[in-house]
Amino acid sequence: MKATFDLPEDVLRRVKAQAALRGQKLREVVLEGMLWVLEHPAPDRTKGKKARIRFADGAGIVNSGVGDLSSNPKHLEGFGRD
């Protein structure tokens, strides 16, 4: 089967150079990369969502005693500075 697609110029140049260094054809290097992606699937990105749901019941149960902590600029003085 034949596939046609566009690559950014810099990526194509790097892949061609890699193929030359390996003594392979461009097609072989591209195929190797595609197979690697298929064999190493992306991590499950829903795990973080499950954790947030799991801890949702505990959110906000600790009272700092400061009612305007998130809205009063004076509480942010020096925040993020060493």
pLDDT tens per residue, range 41-74:
887 766 666 766 777 777 767 777 777 777 888 8
At residue 75 the predicted structure's pLDDT band, cuts being 50, 70 and 90, is confident
Q: Which pLDDT does position 82 carry in this prediction?
A: 61
**Chain-wide mean pLDDT for the chain?**
83
The SS3 assignment for 20 reads helix
Please state the pTM of the whole predicted model.
0.51
In the chain, the percentage of residues whose pLDDT exceeds 70 is 85
d(CA 30, CA 25): 9
Calpha distance 75→69 (Å, rounded): 6
Q: Is residue 18 within 8 Å of residue 31, measured between CB atoms? A: no
